Amino acid sequence: MKKKLFFSVIIIVFAFISIQCFESISFAASNEDKALDEVAQAMLLKADKLKGKRIGIFKFTSLEGKESPEGARISQCILERLMKNDSLTFVDRSELKKIVGEQELQQSGLVDPDLVSETGKVLPIDYMITGTFVYIKTKGHISARILKAATGEIYIAKSTEYVTETQKESSKDSKEAIEIYKASPDKLDRLNRVFYNLMEMSEKRPYVFLVTVINDKEFEQLEKRKPKFAERIKKRRLEIRWEKPGLQMKIDRLRDGLTSMKKMYPSRYEQVMQKKKEMIANPPARKPPSYKPYEGPVSNE
């Protein structure tokens, strides 16, 4: 009798512990679900204004814009929640890839609208969903945004945090990025957008990049050392100022962002300055004309 009672007590205790463990795991797992629900719900509150609009969702990245399977999973989870609303129209990632290429997609929506329009490309979306995630000790942090594709303007922003099941691998993002994120996820997003825009610009529109990052004092020194190179930059600067007011406004915004980056995100700022030094040391070739010369018959009239 005592043996039966003893084993009965053991079974009851074991069952109680099992239930507690199961509840703990379920609760932890539901924390992320709850956070994702919260993000999706914030977006769905304005779903009526997104009706008839084409929406593209990009992979979520680390705070410094790096992709990972975890970021892809998070963006997919949010997409699945949003697709329950039949009034929203989503564009497949493969369609976006055809237009802007994989490099831009890997930058989590950090596509340069000016560059897209200048190259004659048309984004097949009206809005883009992008975001970041980070694990800090036992907490997960998700920051999501809906941006207007044509301008990059933030339409909706939502940040949330939740307790993870166990302490996950610490973020590999820099301490600078984590500190900025803690203070303001939106500020980090803006600084990252400035950084990626400038680095992309340095590759695809090098003279616009140089117009943006070279200050007056540096330009005066350049005129003495490399007058022909300085003249090309000056010509591009005047062309932008008088003929492309939209691009000039963008350059002004990037300059303001670069000033903030110098104070808040010096490691990113130094990367931009290093790129500038490299381009001054090895001036980029002049951009060939975008038109094709006429090769047809010449009229005698």
3-state secondary structure 162-210: EECCCCCCCCCCCHHHHHHHHHCHHHHHHHHHHHHHHHHHHHHCHHHHH
pLDDT given at position 99: 62
Which of 18-27, 78-87, 191-200, 240-249 is least confident? Answer: 18-27
Residue with the larger pLDDT of the pair 72 and 149: 72
Q: What is the structure's pLDDT at 233? A: 94
Q: Out of 119-133, 204-218, 274-288, which region has the weakest mean confidence (pLDDT)?
A: 119-133
| pLDDT tens sequence across 221-279 | 999 999 999 999 999 999 999 988 888 988 999 999 999 999 999 999 999 999 999 99
Structure tokens at 204: 């695809």
- Among residues 259, 225, 222, the alpha carbon closest in space to that of 237 is found at 222
> What does R_g of the chain's alpha carbons equal in angstroms?
26
Do 154 and 256 have their domain in common?
Answer: no
pLDDT at residue number 26: 34
Is 265 inside a domain boundary?
yes
| pLDDT tens-digit map of 123-138 | 678 888 888 898 887 8
In a domain, 56, yes or no: yes
| Residue span of the structural domain in which 105 resides | 32-171
- Does residue 117 carry a pLDDT above 90? no
The pair of three-digit structure tokens given for residue 73, joined into one six-digit string: 């999973």
Q: What CATH number should be reported for the domain holding residue 123? A: 3.40.50.10610
Strand 139-148 relative to strand 89-90, pairing: unpaired
- What pLDDT does residue 196 have? 87
Q: Please give the single-letter amino acid code of residue 143.
A: S
Q: Is 161 domain-assigned?
A: yes
Q: Is 251 a domain residue?
A: yes
140 inside domain: yes
Reported as a single tens digit per residue, the pLDDT across 24-69 is 333 333 688 999 999 999 999 988 888 889 998 888 888 888 888 8
Q: How many domains does the chain have?
A: 2
Q: Which residue did the predictor score with more confidence, 67 or 210?
A: 210
DSSP lists the bridge partners of residue 130 as 145
Considering the domain architecture, whether residues 40 and 145 belong to the same structural domain is answered as yes
Question: Each residue of 143-152: b (16+ CB within 10 Å) or e?
Answer: bbbbbebeeb
**CA 234 to CA 240: how far, in whole Å?**
10
d(CA 118, CA 106): 21
The pLDDT value given to residue 49: 86
Q: Do 86 and 164 have their domain in common?
A: yes
Flag whether 152 is in a domain: yes
41 assigned to some structural domain = yes
Same domain, 50 and 143: yes
- The mean predicted confidence, pLDDT, of the chain is 78
